């Protein structure tokens, strides 16, 4: 078999080029710190690394989403705190106005401050967030949520919530609609309302009342009529007799699973209406309460009307305060959920980054050892190639 000089030369050259390529690969790995420089270096690991990078990028987006939701919920919490402070002040002023030592003039001064607080609440309801959109308009964020026409307050937003993705399987609402915060509030004690007839001439004053048996209360309409100061009867909306009883000031009247007290002295023909609690917005509740505070007191009957009006208003304010507390609790729960999810996302990112490093990062000890070996091999190949190319039969003649 003949081996030509050209063939020997090409074989040696190809071997050195292969060694130089391997050496260059190792040097580039060491300089970059990465084991995989191109996908062809390890196709399986490259595919896994790509998936992990996409997962880390998604988690980063989830964290940015969480930051947006957290910022909006913090703004809502601040607004709700202002609402609660205003309602508490309205309540204090109403209790102050209900004191028998107050004159018509002093109550009028109290009413002025209460109306200022009402205007402030409307402004809070129409407050805009940091993005320039209304906070309490639901998804109709460009629409002013609350408008006023005289004593009528209207909600113009919707009841939907914007949901923000904070993980692969978790969404969180970044706010609450004005309907839930300001309008969908049960009147009275939350179960039923009591109110005196405008034609009453006695001094009967209603207590707050309570629900004693939910299974018996049908949320119907009933009327308590005093036959004389010591006796009363209860009839339903159809005029059917529900019950009768004797009465003394402070006695509790009970029927259909509810009870409430009346103090003072109702006169014959005085009536008190009972009905299920409808929804009543906090603005109207405060406006009605202010109107009650502004009533002129001239005798026992008007004093009783004042007390009944303020007592009813206080019940509505308490319901509004309780509703705001419920919304703030939900906001706080969402903020806690976001904080927990951000922590979980961060832990998952660390895990993915560690796994990614295991796939892509270079083992420097192994690479440096390999580099030294490749350099030695290349040098030996180069020396061998030079000596081989210098051989000739003339050297042996």
Given CATH 1.20.1330.10, say whether it is the number of domain 39-187+280-297+304-329.
Answer: yes
Would you place residue 173 in the very low, low, confident or very high pLDDT band (cuts 50, 70, 90)?
A: very high
Structure token pair of residue 157: 């937003």
Contact 205, 250 (CB under 8 A): no
CB-based burial label for 194 (10 Å; 0-12, 13-18, 19+) = buried
The model's pLDDT over 338-397, given as tens digits with 9 standing for 90+, comes to 999 999 999 999 988 887 766 655 555 665 566 666 666 656 655 665 566 555 544 545
Cα–Cα distance between 282 and 161 in angstroms, integer?
21
- Mean pLDDT (whole number) for 185-195: 96
Give, for 224, the enclosing helix (H) or strand (E): strand 222-228
**274-312 tens-digit pLDDT:** 999 999 999 999 999 999 999 999 999 999 999 999 999
pLDDT for the residue numbered 50: 78
183 and 146 in contact (C-beta within 8 Å)? Answer: no
Instruction: Please tell me whether the overall predicted TM-score, pTM, comes out greater than 0.85 for this model.
Output: no
Task: Please say whether the beta carbons of 247 and 230 come within 8 A.
Answer: yes
How confident is the model over 237-263, as pLDDT tens digits? 999 999 999 999 999 999 999 999 999
What residues contact 80, with CB distance under 8 A and at least 6 apart?
181, 324, 327, 328, 331
Q: Are 205 and 308 in contact (CB under 8 A)?
A: yes
- Give the pLDDT band of residue 19 (cuts 50, 70, 90): low
Q: Where are the alpha helices (DSSP H) in 126-198?
A: 178
Spatial separation of the C-alpha atoms in residues 270 and 205, rounded to whole Å:
11
Domain residue spans in the chain? 39-187+280-297+304-329, 193-278
At residue 163, the pLDDT reads: 93
Give the total residue count for the chain. 397
Among the listed residues 356, 354, 373, 357, the one whose alpha carbon sits nearest the alpha carbon of residue 365: 373
What gap in Å lies between CA 327 and CA 331, rounded to an integer? 6
Instruction: Say if residue 26's pLDDT is above 70.
Output: no
Please give the distance of CA 346 from its chain centroid, rounded to a whole number.
22
Dihedral sign from CA coordinates of 103, 104, 106, 110:
positive
């Amino acid at each position: 078999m003949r081996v030509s000089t050209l063939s020997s030369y090409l074989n040696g050259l190809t071997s050195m080029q292969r060694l130089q390529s391997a050496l260059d690969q190792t040097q580039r790995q060491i300089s970059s710190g990465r084991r995989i420089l191109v996908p062809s270096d390890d196709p399986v690991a490259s595919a896994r690394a790509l998936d992990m990078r996409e997962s880390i990028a998604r988690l980063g987006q989830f964290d940015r989403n969480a930051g947006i939701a957290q910022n909006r919920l913090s703004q809502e919490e601040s607004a709700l705190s202002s609402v609660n402070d205003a309602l508490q002040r309205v309540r204090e002023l109403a209790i102050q106005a209900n004191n028998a030592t107050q004159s018509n003039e002093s109550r009028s001064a109290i009413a002025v401050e209460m109306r200022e607080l009402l205007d402030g609440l409307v402004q809070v309801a129409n407050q805009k967030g940091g993005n320039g959109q209304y906070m309490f308009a639901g998804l109709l964020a460009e629409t002013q949520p609350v408008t006023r026409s005289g004593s009528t307050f209207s909600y113009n937003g919707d009841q939907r919530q914007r949901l923000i993705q904070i993980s692969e399987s978790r969404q969180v609402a970044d706010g609450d609609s004005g309907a839930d915060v300001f309008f969908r509030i049960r009147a009275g004690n939350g179960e039923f309302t009591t109110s005196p007839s405008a034609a009453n001439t006695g001094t009967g004053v209603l207590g707050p009342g309570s629900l004693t048996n939910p299974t018996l209360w049908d949320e119907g309409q009933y009327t308590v009529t005093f036959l004389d100061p010591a006796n009363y009867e209860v009839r339903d909306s159809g005029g059917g007799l529900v019950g009768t009883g004797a009465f003394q000031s402070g006695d509790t009247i009970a029927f259909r699973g509810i009870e409430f007290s009346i103090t003072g002295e109702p006169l014959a023909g005085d009536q008190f209406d009972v009905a299920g609690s409808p929804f009543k917005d906090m603005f109207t509740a405060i406006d009605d309460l202010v109107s009650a505070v502004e009533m002129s007191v001239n005798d026992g009957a008007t004093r009783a009307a004042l007390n009944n009006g303020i007592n009813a208003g206080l019940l509505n304010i308490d319901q509004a305060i309780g509703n705001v507390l419920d919304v703030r609790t939900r906001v706080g729960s969402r903020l806690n959920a976001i904080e927990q999810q951000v922590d979980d996302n961060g832990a998952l990112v660390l895990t993915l980054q560690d796994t990614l490093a295991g796939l892509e990062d270079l083992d420097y000890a192994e690479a440096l050892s390999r580099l030294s070996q490749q350099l030695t091999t290349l040098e030996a190949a180069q020396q061998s190639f030079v000596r081989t190319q210098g051989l000739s039969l003339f050297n042996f003649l």
